[in-house]
Chain A
Amino acid sequence: MLIGGILVITRKNPVHSALALIVTLLAQASIYLMLYAPFVAGVQIILYAGGIMVLFLFVIMLVSIDRSMKERQFNSQWVVGIVAATALGGLFIAVYTKGKDIFPEHALPMVENDNTQQIATMLYGQYMFAFEIASLLLLVAIIGAVVMAKKRI
């Protein structure tokens, strides 16, 4: 996953970057699998790797890549970058060293078998309102895209 992530930002060719991003997303799906969340992993593969990234590639391939090959790839904001990196690294180290209190001691119970059902009861029970609001937001986004793309409705 890390290799894929690094490749995303270092490749000059945008198509290569997009493919590296797919590798990253697939690796992320496998991390979900290791966390006993097969449903999330499956949805990750279908939506991100199979759907969104194909549309990404679609657009990138239609755009001429010659121009982007010549552009400068990194902006030189070294200071901000270093600060952000140290902050994130410090956070990781802190979690790793003092994480024992935050995370439960023993392994989580295997919820693999009714994982999908549990997600369903959570989404449509406890978090119903948030779920509906999110879907409404997506609907608004779709309508907005149609309105912007079409000159005459």
Chain B
Amino acid sequence: MGQVVQYIQSYLTSSQTPGAAGNMFWVLVYILLVFVGLSVAVIAMNWLERKILAHMQVRLGPMRVGPHGLMQPIADALKLLLKEDIMPAEADGLIFWVAPFIVVLAAFTVFVVVPFGPTHAITDMNIGILFMLGVSSLSVLGIVMAGWASNSHYPLIGALRSSAQMVSYEVAMGLAVVSAILMTSLNAEGTGTLSMIGIVQAQQAQGEWFIFKFFPLGLIAFFIFAVAMVAETNRAPFDLAEAESELTAGFHTEYSGFRWSLFFLAEYSAMIAVSSIAVTLWLGGWLRPFPNMLSGHIWDQVFALFPGITFLLFAAMCFYNTVRMPKHPLFRVQTIGLAGFGVVLGLIGLILFIPVVSTRIQDIFWFSAKVAGFMYLYIWYRGTFPRYRFDQLMRMGWKVLLPLGLGVLILTASVALLQEKIWHP
């Protein structure tokens, strides 16, 4: 028992990612944690998206299953698992079977290098960002396979649309990423890095998030990436691949039950993955906001309180709604459940106030908070933007974003060179 405690303590004081330390046990723990965390995030996203969209359109959204429809995603998941798994008669069996797994694999494998904190990543590769882009580009294959193997017109058109879209937006995305990576090389040695943790550390060392670097160059690159990543994940307003009004559901029209839910899972975890690329490259990854303006020990302490405060706020919201629940005997179970949920959230919040925990957990909190901001943006886009037409989409990708990306890349390189030559000769 003492050994176990010692082992955990030795982990808590380590300054390396488990993968870099070569510690198989913690790698496994991290993989499990990331997997569970992602699944919970996807479930939460499902509920939040429906709720937020509904409120944007002055509806209520799911209200029946659990208080404010909180149990709706669980009910949905159960329904999907129990549904009949249909395969079209003329479909190409093997490819139809493999396609959803490829999409899910690509979406989840990416999280191997996502840096939730300087020590909170499964591993740190020195080609981290390249790995992320490469593996996430493999998900196109799954989509194309799904569309083709269904042997039906709508899925095929959807798959072709989505692959054309993803391939062409990948170019603009890559250019934006390169201009951010260029900024990492502005240090004493003059060498940049592709590792996700290294990129955030470069921002820490330069005391500036890359979105503000060389204003407005960093901002433009971020904008290009922010547009391209919505297109990459086939989300509104670029969701032509699954435009309901034209193609029923696009490439996964013929899928049902569990396999359809795999596509769903992959879509949302891909959204989280690209958001975390954006957060890592431009928004300082796990670094807390206002590192310069509000610097110093006291502000560090204040910002360390934020994770706990957030959970306490959630708990307070639960309690507020517990009080507002209808006082009918039929709602008693729901009321008690909501109060219990609030208590759990409050306890988590209180645990997060313990200094040891909060210093260890802070980086994860800030990273997740920034990613959550992006998730809200996704929902917001979907609620407000009309869908593009396909030629508009292609024109946007090739004639606006690509030249803009090239220009930003060249300008960033020249400014970086100028800075090196003039200010630091």
A residues touching B (Cβ–Cβ < 8 Å)?
13, 15-16, 19, 22, 38-39, 41-43, 45-46, 49-51, 53-55, 57-58, 61-62, 112-117
Contact = CB atoms under 8 A, between A and B. Distances in A.
Q: How large is the interface on B (under 10, 10 to 19, 20 to 34, 35 or more residues)?
A: 20 to 34
A24 to B, nearest CB: 14
Given A15-B148, A45-B134, A61-B148, A54 B141 contact: yes
B172 interface: no
B134 A38 contact: no
Of residues A13, A50, A113, A114, which shows the largest number of chain B Cβ atoms within 10 Å of its Cβ? A50
Nearest to A48: B134
Contact of A57 (B127, B137, B141): B141
7 contacts: A13-B92, A15-B95, A19-B95, A22-B141, A45-B135, A50-B137, A55-B167
Interface stretch (B30-38, B156-164, B331-339): B156-164
Nearest to A60: B148
Contact of B160 (A16, A19, A53, A58): A58
A116 B127 contact: yes
Contacts, number: 76
Nearest to B132: A42
Q: Interface of chain B, helix or strand or loop or mixed?
A: helix
Given A50-B140, A58-B163, A116-B127, 6 more contacts: A46-B134, A49-B137, A57-B141, A114-B126, A116-B126, A117-B191
B194 A116 contact: yes
Contact of A46 (B130, B164, B191): B130
A16 B148 CA distance: 11
B247 interface: no
Q: Interface of chain A, helix or strand or loop or mixed?
A: helix
Contacts of B125: 38
Nearest to A51: B167
A46 B132 CA distance: 10
B138 interface: yes
Contacts of B163: 54, 57-58
Nearest to B106: A50
A16 to B, nearest CB: 8
Contacts of A38: 125-127
Cβ-closest 5 pairs across A and B: A50-B137, A42-B130, A45-B134, A46-B134, A42-B127
Nearest to B174: A46
B11 interface: no
A42 B164 contact: no
Given A42-B131, A58-B160, A117-B191, A51 B126 contact: no
Given A19-B145, A58-B160, A61-B144, A46 B137 contact: yes
Interface string B71-102: 00000000000000000000010010000000
Given A38-B126, A45-B138, A50-B138, A57 B191 contact: no
B191 A43 contact: no
B133 interface: yes
Nearest to A61: B148
Interface string B137-158: 1101100110010000000100
Nearest to A62: B160
Given A15-B95, A58-B164, A61-B160, A39 B138 contact: no
Contacts of A54: 140-141, 144, 163, 166-167
Contacts of A41: 127
B363 interface: no
A117 to B, nearest CB: 5
Nearest to A29: B134
A135 to B, nearest CB: 14
Contacts of B133: 46
Contacts of A117: 191
A57 B149 CA distance: 12
Nearest to B136: A50
B390 to A, nearest CB: 15
A28 B191 CA distance: 28
A121 to B, nearest CB: 9
Contact of B170 (A15, A51, A115): A51
Nearest to A57: B144
A42 B183 CA distance: 21
A42 B145 contact: no
Nearest to A65: B148
Interface string B341-385: 000000000000000000000000000000000000000000000
A49 to B, nearest CB: 6
Contacts of A45: 134-135, 137-138
A151 to B, nearest CB: 19
Contacts of B131: 42
A13 B145 CA distance: 13
B167 A53 contact: no
